[in-house]
Amino acid sequence: MGLFEKAQLLLRERFGYGSFRPGQEQAVRAVLEGRDVLAVMPTGAGKSICYQIPAAALEGMAIVVSPLISLMSDQVRACREAGISAVFLNSTLELEEKRQITRAMLANMVDVVYITPEQLVQERFAAYMRKLNIGLVAVDEAHCISQWGHDFRPSYQGIGPVIASLPQRPPVMALTATATARVSADIRTLLGLQRPVEVRTGFDRPNLAFFVQRMPDSQKIQAILSYVRAHPDDAGIVYCSTRKKVDEVYQELMGAGVKAGRYKGDMAAGTREAYQRDFINDDTQVMVATNAFGMGIDKSNVRYVIHHNMPASIEAYYQEAGRAGRDGEPAECILLWNDNDIRIQRLLIDNAAAEAAELEGAAQAGAGKQRLLSSMVSYCHTAGCLRRFILGYFDEVESLPERCGNCGNCLDGAQGTDVSKIAVAVMACVRELRWPVGKGTLADIVCGSRSAKIKDKDYDRLDSYDSVSEPAALVRDVIELMAAEGYLAISDGEYTVVTQGPRASELSSLGFTLQMKHVSKAAAAKGAAKASSKSSNIPLQGRELELFQELRTLRKAIADEDGVPPYVVFSDKTLREMASLQPTDEDAFLAVSGVGTVKLEHYGRQFMGAIRSFLEAPAE
Ligand code: ADP
Ligand code: ZN
């Protein structure tokens, strides 16, 4: 039997999965052939299998560098549940524990060693590593090595030299969910990858449904509350832009009897971790958090992520929203926004730029951030497919249809309104004005306002005065959209004023059109309802759903007794399949995706028992 056949067998026996996903297969094959690998795969694509299976198939052990101490014990548990012997080394261990573990490693008795970069780069450990039988070094969250990445960790830069110092260089695998060209270049050079096989699985997450809803601040909390109440069995995350808002939303949910947790930067570390544990263990339903929450959350059954505010970039949004649906089951990502969000983000960028004004390159950084923000604003306004918009942003649209059928805009909540004429009138006014004015004044001029402010300045004598017969509120939105698309620029400085943007000249061309999303309330509600009723991959009905709930309760009881998160026992997806297949003998139980031999041994009796008594009980 070849090594790869062995790997396939291990996948089936230990993890209970029928086959590798395409990216996994590529990565596993490459490592087994002794090649280096750079794997760029989105959250939920199944990165851990890429090193866990080779670790079990190869003679030597896999050293897995991971930045997240909080995850390690769960990761080790998950390995052991798959019959893979795993240990972790980090600063939380006592000296004696460390000694025991290192002895086991020397005796080549472990398959997988999770270690923090800080531990790995200590000279004492590096020296010890040279005596080990190492089959693979895997570097998780590899983007942390780059200053261009969003989570730079200096200790990552010590990993490359440690690998280079090994007497026999094992294959090296770098894994990340986010890598721009610059970051991947850094990963290659700083880790010293040798002609790595590059595995890219694409960023699309078909099971995520995207929604954008414009809403005044005053309605947001109620909207969130009613969504949460309408999904009482689902876990979710609510992201807020400020700590104060986190508290408000949290209080509101708790007041309404929802089991919620919260997470923000100014909380004591212990408190924060307790809230995080409760959420991971399914003891709370909703986590209300700032963007400090999420890195290292391995909760696979998050069914929705709601953003109370618009984030600063598409990157940030996709990463945060992407924490939903890691198990591949349907999940919803909902963005609530209004003009205040744009104003606040712009203010933050300006303030940061002002603070850093003396630093070289600060202005450039500010301009970069404006561009990131512009794309985010365009996302809010687009009437096109939201998935296409996001993937287009990451340069990945070729393979996608025009409409994905699984986002708010595709589910016909949105229609494009042609606002080209308004845009042309606004541009004419910008060009005609001798001194630039702010967004509100600009809209007032083209709409022909009779206010004293307009008359005093003789704006009513301009050619473009009163050239638009639409409400000023709509014109202000068009101005925002034009700025987001680069036709106008909304400048920073003491007063925000509107000037021509880099694409201003395009308005003079014949083919110019500009579409803006127009959503009637009824249509928006309809769209959301449609998505919510969209069935899961494994639709469950009546009795099956009842059984699923019972199995969930059983899973929770077992997890609590063992002190592990429920997903370590079985994922929601596996439980759904169980509820649908209703296995009552070992072969049938093993046939459920996600059930390997170790899990059969650990949990088979209890779960099959529950299924049997459920089947024997008379239906109501
Ligand atoms: P990532 O680290 O890339 O975010 P994970 O390793 O946590 O992803 O895997 C995501 C989910 O996909 C997990 O629930 C995992 O059990 C499941 N999974 C991984 N590989 C497979 C496979 N080949 N077949 C079925 N499910 C898989
Ligand atoms: Zn779509």
Q: What confidence tier does 317 reach under pLDDT thresholds 50, 70, 90?
A: very high
Summarised one tens digit per residue, pLDDT across range 253-267 is 999 999 999 999 889
How many angstroms does the Cα of residue 440 sit away from the middle of ligand 1?
Answer: 50
CB atoms inside a 10 Å sphere around CB 515: 16
Distance between first and last Cα of the chain: 52
| Main-chain phi, psi angles of 190, to 5 degrees | -70, -30
Q: Which residues face 113 on adjacent strands? A: 63, 87
Q: Say which residue the tokens 């497919």 belong to.
A: 385
Which residues lie across from 174 on neighbouring strands?
38, 139
- Residue 106 Cα to ligand 2 midpoint, Å, equals 53
Per DSSP (E only), the strands in 398-546 are 415-418, 488-490, 498-500, 515-518
Q: Is the dihedral of CA 17, 19, 22, 25 positive or negative?
A: positive
Q: Which atom of ligand 1 is nearest to the CA of 48?
A: 6
Q: At what angle do helices 420-432 and 472-484 cross, to 10 degrees?
A: 80
Residue of 29, 48, 176, 573 to test ligand 1 pocket, by largest number of atoms within 8 Å of CB:
48
The predicted-structure confidence for 397-451, as pLDDT tens digits, reads as follows: 777 788 899 999 898 656 778 999 999 999 999 999 999 999 999 999 999 999 9
pLDDT score recorded for residue 380: 93
Q: Which residues pair with 490 in a beta bridge?
A: 498
Name the CA dihedral angle for 335, 276, 297, 243, rounded to a multiple of 10 degrees. Answer: 40
Ligand 1 neighbour 12 (Cβ under 6 A): no
Q: Choose one of 9, 14, 15, 318 to mutate for the ligand 1 pocket test, by most ligand atoms within 8 angstroms of C-beta.
A: 15
Looking at the DSSP assignment, which residues form a beta bridge with residue 134?
Answer: 61
Least confident of 72-81, 302-311, 464-473: 72-81
Q: Give the strand order in the sheet containing 61-65.
A: 86-89, 112-115, 61-65, 134-139, 172-176, 37-40, 197-200
Residue among 324, 281, 335, 277 nearest 302 (CA): 324
Nearest CA to 238 among 164, 204, 289?
289
- State whether the Cα torsion 210-215-221-227 is positive or negative: negative
CA distance 561 to 420: 63
**Per-residue confidence (pLDDT) for residue 363, from 0 to 100:** 60
Q: What is the three-class DSSP state of 288?
A: strand
Beta strands in 328-431 (DSSP E): 331-337, 415-418
Confidence band, pLDDT 50/70/90 cuts, at residue 70: confident
Nearest ligand to the C-alpha atom of residue 27 = 1
CB of 319 within 6 A of ligand 1: the answer is no
Does ligand 1 have an atom closer than 6 angstroms to the CB of 327?
yes
Cα(384) to centroid(ligand 2), Å: 7
| Side chain identity at residue 248, one-letter code | E
**CB distance 300 to ligand 1 below 6 Å:** yes
pLDDT higher than threshold 90 for residue 352: no
Tens of pLDDT, residue by residue over 519-571, are: 555 545 544 544 444 445 667 788 898 999 999 999 999 999 988 889 889 99
Closest to 374 measured CA to CA, from 220, 485, 282, 292: 485
Contacts of 65 (CB under 8 A, 6+ apart): 115, 116, 117, 120, 137, 138, 139, 140, 156, 159
Cβ 301 under 6 angstroms from ligand 1: no
- Nearest ligand, measured from the Cα of 414: 2
Determine if ligand 1 sits within 6 Å of the CB of residue 48.
yes
Instruction: Assess whether the C-beta atom of 17 lies below 6 angstroms from ligand 1.
Output: yes
- What pLDDT, on a 0 to 100 scale, did the predictor assign at position 149? 67
Q: Amino acid identity, residue 381? A: H
Strands 488-490 and 498-500: antiparallel
Query: For residue 125, which of 152, 156, 153, 163 has the smallest C-alpha distance?
Result: 163
- Report how far ligand 2's centroid is from the alpha carbon of 9 (Å): 38
* Residue to probe by mutation, ligand 1, list 10, 17, 319, most atoms within 8 Å of CB: 17
The response to whether residue 457 sits with its C-beta less than 6 Å from ligand 1 reads no
Nearest ligand to the C-alpha atom of residue 400: 2
Q: What is the pLDDT of residue 55?
A: 96
Q: Is 567 in the pocket of ligand 1 (CB under 6 A)?
A: no
* CA–centroid distance, residue 490 to ligand 2 (Å): 29
Query: In 3D, which of 594, 596, 592 has the Cα closest to residue 611?
Result: 592
- Partners of 87 in beta bridges: 113
Asked whether 63 and 191 are in contact (CB, 8 A), the reply is no
**Helix (H) and strand (E) counts for the chain?**
26, 17
Question: Which ligand is located closest to the Cα atom of residue 385?
Answer: 2
Residue 66 Cβ < 6 Å to ligand 1? no
Looking from the CA of residue 11, the nearest atom of ligand 1 is 23
Of ligand 1's atoms, which has the minimum distance to the CA of residue 567? Answer: 14
What are the structure tokens assigned to 440, written together?
């509100």
294: left (phi over 0), alpha (psi -120 to 50) or beta: left
Q: 387-396, 491-500, 517-526: which range is least confident on average?
A: 517-526
Paired sense of beta strands 37-40 and 208-214, if any? unpaired
Ligand nearest to the CA of 412: 2
Structure confidence at residue 533 (pLDDT): 43
Is residue 315 a contact partner of residue 379, using CB atoms and an 8 Å limit?
Answer: no
Question: Rounded to whole angstroms, how far apart are CA atoms 221 and 217?
Answer: 8
Ligand nearest to the CA of 382: 2
**Cα dihedral angle (527, 529, 531, 536), rounded to 10 degrees?**
-170
Vertex 273: Cα angle to 552 and 344 (nearest 5): 105
Report the pLDDT value the prediction gives residue 150, as an integer from 0 to 100. Answer: 66
Residues 575 and 548 sit within 8 Å (Cβ to Cβ): yes
CA of 208 to the centre of ligand 2 (A): 10
Q: Report the pLDDT averaged over residues 480-504.
A: 86
Query: From ligand 2's centre to the CA of 215, what distance in Å?
Result: 21
Q: Is the pLDDT of residue 27 over 50?
A: yes
Q: What is the predicted pLDDT for the residue at 526? A: 47
Of 54-63, 358-367, 557-566, least confident by mean pLDDT is 358-367
